[in-house]
């Protein structure tokens, strides 16, 4: 059996030979992937290569046409919506709410699967309001928020969903979590994601376009191209000049910053 799929008995998300087509066009081809607890996995790849379709397919936002997706060795089709909501939380790319809600009410929607005392609910909401400085936004009408402000609120919603769960193995799927955010908040939400990954042993699977952020935060990288996984493995093995050029056709270099005391990855056309 392929090494990548040897998971029996481990609590993982397992994707086996997943294929997806739209009008006879293959969008995903033979995807095999393992998403582990307490690991930060980033999916990178050019526009239109199938990243969002992959995240939607493995989270029941799209029907699985061919292939299998298991969570803890049980097909995800066999979980009820509530059971799945306790085990994994998903930030999709677009959100449309046709009704008028306060921003904080959108965050509270992350707790819909739980029966919590009002004290506990308040404690969880306060946690995220403080972590993301949401106080000035919380009583505003969600529809009137800027793109970046909406992104913060949606991120807060998926985090409280996960934070409230008492499940042991939990997974967080983020489709471009830094979208529309200023640089300060891009790092703030990536730092919080990393903190939760370590503290709660969450398996993170994030689509990122910033290859340096993927380098700084990820334990593992999936590089996709034309609907396929081209490279998958530990960050240091996958983010090489050769692979980056192969997938994105850009030059790159690792540079050590004395001031930041860190190696960073820069890219240029
Ligand atoms: N509903 C749809 N109808 C037709 N084509 C679709 C549909 N959804 C996705 N596609 C196509 O599937 C391909 C993969 O789309 P997907 O959104 O998964 O790409 P992506 O890698 O997430 O791209 P990006 O980085 O631009 O967000 C694209 O070519 C897209 O046009």
Q: What is the pLDDT of residue 4?
A: 47
The CA distance from 106 to 176, in Å, is 19
Domain that holds residue 175: 3-94+168-268
**134 lies in some domain:** no
**115 lies in some domain:** no
**83 lies in some domain:** yes
Rounded (10°) angle between helices 183-200 and 147-163: 10
**196 lies in some domain:** yes
**62 lies in some domain:** yes
**70 lies in some domain:** yes
Q: Is the pTM of this model over 0.90?
A: yes
**Positive or negative CA dihedral for 84, 88, 92, 95?**
positive
**100 lies in some domain:** no
CB contact set of 124 (below 8 Å; sequence gap of 6+): 111, 116, 160, 163, 164
Rounded (10°) angle between helices 118-131 and 147-163: 130
Q: What is the largest CA-CA distance in the chain?
A: 54
Separation in Å, CA 127 to CA 122, 133, 153, 159: 8, 10, 13, 10
Residue 165 has pLDDT above 50, yes or no: yes
- Say if residues 255 and 242 touch (Cβ distance below 8 Å): no
| Structure tokens, 75 | 């097909």
What is the ipTM for the molecules in this complex?
A: 0.98
| 47-64 pLDDT per residue, tens | 999 999 999 999 999 988
* Total domains, the chain: 1
Question: Which of 42, 50, 56 has most ligand 1 atoms within 8 Å of its beta carbon, as the pocket-test mutant?
Answer: 50
**162 lies in some domain:** no
Average pLDDT, integer, range 230-246: 97
CATH number of the domain enclosing 14: 3.40.50.300
| 167-191 pLDDT per residue, tens | 888 999 999 999 999 999 999 999 9
Cβ of 21 less than 6 Å from ligand 1: no
Residue 7 has pLDDT above 80, yes or no: no
Question: Which of 52, 59, 178, 247 has most ligand 1 atoms within 8 Å of its beta carbon, as the pocket-test mutant?
Answer: 52
Q: What is the pLDDT of residue 188?
A: 98
Cβ of 50 less than 6 Å from ligand 1: yes
């Amino acid at each position: 059996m392929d090494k990548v799929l040897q998971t029996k008995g481990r609590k993982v998300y397992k994707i086996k030979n997943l294929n997806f087509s739209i009008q006879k066009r293959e969008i995903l081809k033979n995807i095999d992937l393992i998403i582990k607890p307490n690991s930060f996995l980033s999916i990178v790849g050019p526009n239109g290569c199938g990243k969002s379709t992959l995240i939607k397919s493995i989270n029941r936002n799209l029907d699985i046409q061919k292939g299998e997706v298991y969570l803890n060795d049980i097909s995800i089709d066999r979980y009820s919506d509530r059971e799945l909501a306790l085990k994994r939380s998903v930030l999709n790319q677009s959100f449309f709410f046709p009704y008028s809600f306060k921003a904080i009410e959108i965050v509270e929607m992350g707790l819909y699967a739980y029966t919590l005392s009002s004290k506990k609910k308040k404690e969880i909401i306060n946690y995220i309001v403080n972590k993301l400085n949401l106080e000035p936004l919380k009583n505003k009408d969600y529809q009137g928020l800027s793109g970046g402000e909406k992104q913060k609120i949606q991120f807060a919603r998926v985090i409280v969903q996960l934070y409230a769960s008492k499940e042991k193995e939990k997974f967080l799927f983020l489709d471009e979590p830094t979208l529309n955010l200023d640089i300060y908040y891009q790092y703030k939400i990536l730092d919080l994601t990393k903190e939760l990954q370590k503290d709660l042993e969450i398996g993170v699977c994030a689509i990122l376009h910033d290859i340096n952020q993927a380098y700084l935060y990820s334990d593992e990288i999936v590089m996709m191209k034309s609907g396929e996984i081209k490279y998958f493995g530990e960050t240091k093995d996958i983010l090489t000049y050769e692979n980056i050029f192969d997938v994105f056709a850009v030059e790159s270099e690792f540079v050590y910053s004395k001031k930041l005391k860190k190696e960073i990855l820069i890219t240029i056309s």
